[in-house]
Amino acid sequence: VQLQASGGGLVQAGGSLRLSCVGSGRSFSQRAMGWFRQTPGKEREFVAAISMSGESTLMGDSVKGRFTIWRDNAKNTVYLQMNNLKYEDTAIYYCALEDERWRIGVPRFQSDFGSWGQGTLVTVSS
């Protein structure tokens, strides 16, 4: 499985961006998806995840109420809508596909995800 993330860019604080991640492979709809982010010198941080069906989501504490995750399995795509962006949201954002198929629930640990996209840079100016 290959993942291709896009949609990053430069935005002013308070602005919005939408990230997309397209996956290849036939098992996309059988696995949960997630978004993580990382800044230099810091550990990769959980942002959001969504179940294989899209019915359940889990958001990181720092983005609750501002970010939304959803997926379109017909397009093998997961999205991350980011509103009211803050300077501290600046990071490289990675999408990830979990290893396990047919999971009931939503994973949030990096170890649950075995396939990763290349990352897309989001820069928020203050």
Note the pLDDT tens digit of each residue in 69-117.
999 999 999 999 999 999 999 999 999 999 888 888 899 999 999 999 9
CA 97, 24, 17, 54 torsion-angle sign: negative
Do 22 and 117 contact (CB within 8 A), yes or no? Answer: no
**Residue 125: partners with Cβ closer than 8 Å, 6 or more residues away:** 10, 11, 12, 13, 87
Classify residue 70 as exposed, middle or buried by CB count within 10 Å of its CB (0-12, 13-18, 19+).
Answer: middle
Tokens 């939304």 -> residue: 68
Q: Residue 61 gets which letter from DSSP?
A: T
The pLDDT-based confidence of 121 (bands split at 50, 70, 90) is very high
